Amino acid sequence: CAPPDAVVWPQAVGQVQELAALCYRCRVPMVPFGTGTGLEGGVNAVQGGVCFNLSHMDAITELSLEDFSVTVEPGVTRKALNSHLRGTGLWFPVGTVGTGEQ
């Protein structure tokens, strides 16, 4: 495991944009972290850098029952989404790409 040099917890898209611009200007690697469900080692900061912990960005911003689509921020978990969907007749099942058990 290679930890990052720093961790930030942005809570809005604008904050992510500002932090990303700063990292770009300073040539500092950015390591995104959503809900921790990835199996690929993408949060391993092999060159140091700043970890963007996006878990506080957990809003469900749009739901369209007509076309079965939902827009979520990166910190939304499968369980939170299914709680939001309760009563609609829809659910986000286990086994779908990108889901986690958090």
Rounded CA separation 14/18 (Å): 6
Which residues lie across from 62 on neighbouring strands? 71
Which helix (H) or strand (E) covers residue 14, if one does? helix 13-26
Mean pLDDT taken over the chain: 86
Rounded CA separation 82/60 (Å): 11
Q: What is the CATH number of domain 6-53?
A: 3.30.43.10
Residue 43: the pLDDT is: 73
pLDDT tens figures, 16-33:
999 999 999 999 999 888
**CB-CB contact of 64 with 85 (8 Å):** no
Which helix (H) or strand (E) covers residue 7, if one does? strand 6-8
pLDDT of 9 > 90? The answer is yes
pLDDT tens figures, 40-86:
666 788 888 999 999 999 999 999 999 999 999 989 988 999 999 99
- What is the pTM (predicted TM-score) of this model? 0.73
Domains of the chain by residue range? 6-53, 58-94
